[in-house]
A and B are shown apart, each in its own frame.
Chain A
Amino acid sequence: MDCSGKHDVVSSEGTIYESLLKKGFSRRDFLKLCTTLTATLSLPAPFVSRIAEALETKKKPILVWLEFQDCAGNSEALLRATKPTVGEIVLDTLSIEYHETIMAAAGHQAEKSLADVVANHKGNYIAAVEGSIPMKDGGVHCCIGGRSALEIAREVCGNAMATIAMGTCACFGGIPAAAPNPTEAVGVSAAVPNIPVVNLSGCPVNAENITATVVHLLTFGTLPALDKFNRPLFAYGKRIHDNCERRAHFDAGQYVRRWGDEGHREGWCLYEMGCKGPETFKNCPRIKYNDGTNWPVGSGHGCIGCAEPAFWDRMTPFYERLPQPPGFGVEATADKVGLGVAAVTGAAIVAHGIGRMISGKNTRED
């Protein structure tokens, strides 16, 4: 049964529910999982049954995972969990037909399986992309099997039902795109315009958000509602600062001022240490990392804004609240430049006052 009739993600193997049963899941575990997913998607409770129905009836989606200019950190985040997470469980049950880091096949055999997916499942598979795509010199700076990342992305993402950009590099170019961006790296949606892309930014992406996005696609046949940077609103709709566990200390006026000071030991707000939570949108405070163990602010380090475009250029210095004003050298801060402007004004006034004394006229001459 197809709930929306938009797309149908197909594969030769059974449904996600069947795979979960095979893995020893009970019906009860399955419904719990559906509840968690509904909550992650910020959907109201009645949607639990809708999601359960989709996972029970729809064929497992086929996924191909492309890696370009990356550190494989997003794959790591997914694979290195110590106990199985919701994300792992669902992703384990997906038909991952191609993933450079984890697939058994190699060489021409591997490339063939990718070509087969594109040829046989056109418009019906999900493309996941990790890493940025270099545009300089026709894309020669990142090649796989003799083809450039750009060429592969055009073909694989262009024929996919949807593309999920995993992590900030695939979304916005990320660290490879940091100034001076020697390879002219960009994210998927800039490299291959006009295709449906969901950006799951972050460094790395959270497995829970991937799962929820895939399940949304499966259940509704559509991409989730997106923000202006094509990120799903369920995960990127709220500012970190507004969900942060230290927010009460921010409002009260209790700030860490030096690493290891009393405020730091007390778990106060990291605003003065350059926390970028006030300008970063992501659900980290809620779902955290490493199986929900912790997240940067929880462990006493400010947010570095990794989920936002150009974070390496614009969110730095990481331990200052404001970026450096352009054109004033490395040591300048906004306040130093500002004080300079104010001082020049003061000096001009003093000079004018002295000038007035020298010219010696206090009264008006007509």
Chain B
Amino acid sequence: MPKERIRAYAWEIPVRLTHWINFVCIVALIVTGFYIGNPYAHAYSSSQYIMGWIRFVHFTAAYFFLMSLVIRIYWAFAGNRYASWRVWLLLTKQQWQDFWGALKFYLFLSKHPPCAVGHTAIAGFTYFFVFILFGWQILSGFALHSLTHTGPLWFYLGGWLTGMMHMQTIRLYHHMATYVIISFAVAHVYIAWYLTLKERNGLMGSIFDGYKFVTGKEWE
């Protein structure tokens, strides 16, 4: 039987809110993005507006996604210690130790699951790259968007990139990054589910209500 657990508040509202806004936006962006990349459904009449709507959804979701990321980055400085930007990096010796410990666990080299109130060191470090990836999608997406939207807003959000990188290259990597995001999402959900089972710490639930169930060892 698992030992007695302490209910710990890990994810504050902005973290949970932005997580689910991101989730909805990313699903919408992937579905519509793949249609833009390869329009599999064809219209039977010219009065339809399939690509038009698909692009509209892609761009609307893009703005929500951008705002969500802005809020999350703000919270990395304003939020609690589990939301801090510090957990995204391996800054301390402790973080390195946790990192190797967690890695060993995932590779079946150790039977001690990583335990942390917030992200484990591996998760935190992964999110660092994931947020860079999100940033790239936004930058490259707005760079493509700036081809038709020439105002200063779109220039600063991404248009400047077209002066340094060929449009086709931007498009290619915008497209390719989509697969990396899909791969992350699959692995991420699997790991969340796996750790929930393994650790019994309510990880899956925590991203809904904010609470994790920890043993108390985390603070030692």
Measuring CB to CB, which residues of chain A are less than 8 angstroms from any residue of chain B? 228, 239, 242, 248-255, 271-272, 276, 278-279, 305, 308-310, 314-315, 321-323, 325, 334-335, 337-339, 341-342, 344-346, 348-349, 352, 355-356, 359, 361-366
Contacts and interface: CB of A to CB of B under 8 A. Distances in A.
Contact of B186 (A250, A338, A349): A349
B108 A355 contact: yes
Contacts of A339: 179
B48 A364 contact: no
A279 B111 contact: no
Nearest to B111: A365
18 contacts: A252-B49, A253-B50, A254-B43, A254-B46, A279-B171, A314-B168, A334-B175, A337-B176, A338-B176, A341-B179, A341-B180, A342-B182, A342-B183, A348-B187, A352-B194, A355-B108, A364-B199, A366-B3
Interface in B143-198: 147-148, 162-163, 166-169, 171-172, 175-176, 178-180, 182-183, 186-187, 190, 194, 197-198
Contact of B52 (A252, A310, A334, A349): A252
B79 interface: no
Secondary structure at the B interface, as helix, strand, loop or mixed, is: helix
Q: Which of under 10, 10 to 19, 20 to 34, or 35 or more describes the interface residues of B?
A: 35 or more
Contacts of B46: 248-249, 252, 254
Interface string B91-121: 0000000000000001010011100000000
Contacts of A355: 108
A309 B112 CA distance: 56
A321 B176 contact: no
A363 B3 CA distance: 12
A228 B147 CA distance: 12
A189 to B, nearest CB: 15
A322 B51 contact: no
A253 B215 contact: no
Interface in B10-48: 37-39, 41-43, 45-48
A323 B172 contact: yes
A349 B45 contact: no
B176 A334 contact: yes
Contacts of A252: 43, 45-52
B81 interface: no
A315 B2 CA distance: 60
A362 B187 CA distance: 19
Contact of A349 (B37, B42, B49, B187): B187
B215 A366 contact: yes
Nearest to B47: A252
A242 B167 CA distance: 16
Contacts of A272: 38-39
B43 to A, nearest CB: 4
B134 to A, nearest CB: 17
A364 B3 CA distance: 10
Contact of B172 (A271, A334, A345, A366): A334
A18 to B, nearest CB: 41
Nearest to A237: B150
B183 A345 contact: yes
